[in-house]
Amino acid sequence: MKLPKLSVPSGPTTIRSQMSRLVLAVCIPLVIILVVMLSLMVVHTQLYTDLLHNVTTASEFNQDFKSNIDLKMYYYVTGSQYSEGLPIEEVQDAQRLARDLLDTTTNRESRLAIASVLDLCQNLEEKIYQIRDTQDYDERQSQLENNINVLTALIQEFMYDYLYNEAVQLDTLQNQMNQRLFTELVLVFLVTAGLVLMMTRYAVALGRSITQPVIDLCARVEELGGGDLTPREPVKADEYEILTLSQGFEQMAGRLKDLLAETTQKQESLRKMELALLQSQINPHFLYNTMDTIIWLVEAGKNREATEMISNLSNFFRFSLSKGKDVITLAEEGEQVLSYLRIQQARYRDILQYTMELPEALRRTTLPKLTLQPLVENALYHGIKMKRGMGHIAILARREEDVVVLQVTDDGAGIPPARLEELRRAMEEGDRVGFGLATVHERLRLLFGAPYGLEIHSEEGVGTTVCARVPWRGEEETV
């Protein structure tokens, strides 16, 4: 349905013009109040932050400063085996802390206290060096008692005085801020009440002209949300914005209807093409070589072995088709892989061994068809055949909380680190890097989401492990 283009009404009849007046009437006084409040808050907050910083920094001062310095100096003077040398670093740390506090402290008593701490620390450092330069033991003991012990006691006392003064000032400032905050809240409440009354008057006037069209528009949106995409005439309204919105909804509904039909058709075609491509990618040489092997077995009189290979080949393609289903159970996928491996073992008996462990509790797990077979084929052709001697492929499944991990491991040639990194990066970026890995990873992501897909671990010369992660959906899971 093609809808006529609407013309813009002139004058103050548009919602935009009415809302502009309402916004200006509300915002101007509100902005003024906010600027004043923010300015006051910034000033108070800065003062409070500085005081809190001073108290916090001062709290970092070692509460055991005196006992630690006294004990270390005692060990040093007596030559104890526990001596760690002169405690110069501790004294210098205390000086740095005192300088930092002196830069940010404004209270007179606090500045006097912290300045005294700084002077005493400098004096203490000099006395420590004096003891170091004194050789007489009795003289050292005298300096320890009369200088070091007295200075550390004074430092600790002045630091406590500083903390007390700052805490008192912090409490005073907090009370002032609470009082001012109460006053500001009362002012904001009064102004807000006035603004609410004014906004109510404007809102009632505006609502009278747009309420019913908006109700009709909401009802139409609910219909669209329920799937009714048939285009209709726009709702009747005097406001240009509502008419434009309604017209846009109807045009969108028509386009969505066409797009959904087109997308559904394309997705179905894409799904069929992807599956057909996946099945067509089964190496034709595999079929040729299998048929050659069957002919050789028949000519050699090994009819039983030929019959088994024909049966395995039949099962392989029967499970590949899976009655047209894209998603099958782990048990069905395992049967197809077993058929594939039996055929390949008949051809590569001298280099191929395999094991498969699929716990009964996980056999009803659902996954995209042809998930494991490409991984097993990669393990054979790019792992086992690339090394000399017997090789082994292990397929197993295990549960990790709400995830089922399907693991294909070979002890073949492995992947060089540079190539392994290239494979991982290309898979995450959606690039095509070899049929098996790229296709399986992409299909798992499309079906189950980003947390699932393939993980590759390999060590050159040791082997490769590829893990396919699919969701666990409980014991009652069905296809």
DSSP-assigned letters across all residues of 123-158? HHHHHHHHHHH---HHHHHHHIIIIIHHHHHHHHHH
β-bridge mates for residue 367, sequence order: 328
Contacts of 124 (CB under 8 A, 6+ apart): 69, 91, 148, 151, 152, 155
By C-alpha distance, which of 188, 167, 180, 182 is closest to 44?
180
Angle of helix 330-347 relative to helix 303-321, nearest 10 degrees, comes to 140
What tens digit of pLDDT does each residue of 179-228 get? 877 787 787 778 778 777 877 777 676 666 667 777 777 777 777 777 66
Band (28; pLDDT cuts 50, 70, 90): confident
* Residue owning tokens 């006392």: 157
Tell me which of 74 and 205 has the higher pLDDT. Answer: 74
Residue 359, phi then psi, degrees to nearest 5: -55, 145
Secondary structure (3-state) at 454 = strand
Angle between helices 240-280 and 435-448 (to 10 degrees): 140
More confidently predicted of 256 and 59: 256
Query: pLDDT band for position 25 (50/70/90)?
Result: low
For 419, the enclosing helix (H) or strand (E) is helix 417-429
Does the pLDDT value for residue 235 go beyond 90?
no
Residue whose pair of structure tokens reads 């205390």 in the numeric block: 94
Mean pLDDT across 112-118? 88
Do 309 and 293 meet the contact criterion of CB atoms below 8 Å apart?
A: yes
pLDDT value, residue 477? 46
Whole-number pLDDT of residue 22 = 66
The residue among 434 and 290 whose pLDDT is bigger is 290
Residues 15, 94: Cα–Cα separation, whole Å: 67
pLDDT single digits (tens) 134-158: 888 889 889 888 888 888 888 888 8
Phi, psi of 469 (to 5 degrees): -105, 120
Does the pLDDT at position 282 exceed 80?
A: no
Q: For residue 355, what are its two tokens?
A: 């094991």
Between 442 and 317, the more confident residue is: 442
Q: Look up residue 388 and give its amino acid.
A: R
Beta strands at 453-459 and 403-410: parallel, antiparallel or unpaired: unpaired
pLDDT for 429 equals: 75
For residues 255-272, give the mean pLDDT. Answer: 68
In this model, does residue 434 exceed pLDDT 60?
no
Torsion angle of C-alpha atoms 198, 201, 202, 204, degrees rounded to 10: 150
Identify whether the C-beta of residue 352 lies closer than 8 Å to the C-beta of residue 393.
Answer: yes
- Give the residue, 268 or 27, on which the prediction is more confident: 27
Band (407; pLDDT cuts 50, 70, 90): very high
pLDDT-based confidence at 433, cuts 50/70/90? low
Q: What is the pLDDT of residue 467?
A: 94
The residue whose two tokens read 């005692």 is 74
pLDDT of 319: 64
Averaged pLDDT of the chain: 78
CA distance 264 to 257: 11
- pLDDT the model gives residue 356: 93
Among 129-138, 268-277, 321-330, 392-401, the minimum mean pLDDT is found in: 268-277
Q: Give the pLDDT mean for 401-418.
A: 92
| pLDDT of the residue at 9 | 44
Nearest alpha-carbon partner for 427 in 27, 419, 12, 49:
419
φ/ψ (deg, to 5) at 468:
-105, 125
Of the two residues 47 and 3, the one the predictor is more confident about is 47
354 or 16, which is more confident: 354
Single out the residue of 326, 317, 362 nearest to residue 446, CA to CA: 326
Better-scored residue on pLDDT, 244 or 2: 244
CA atoms within 13 A on the CB side of 126: 7
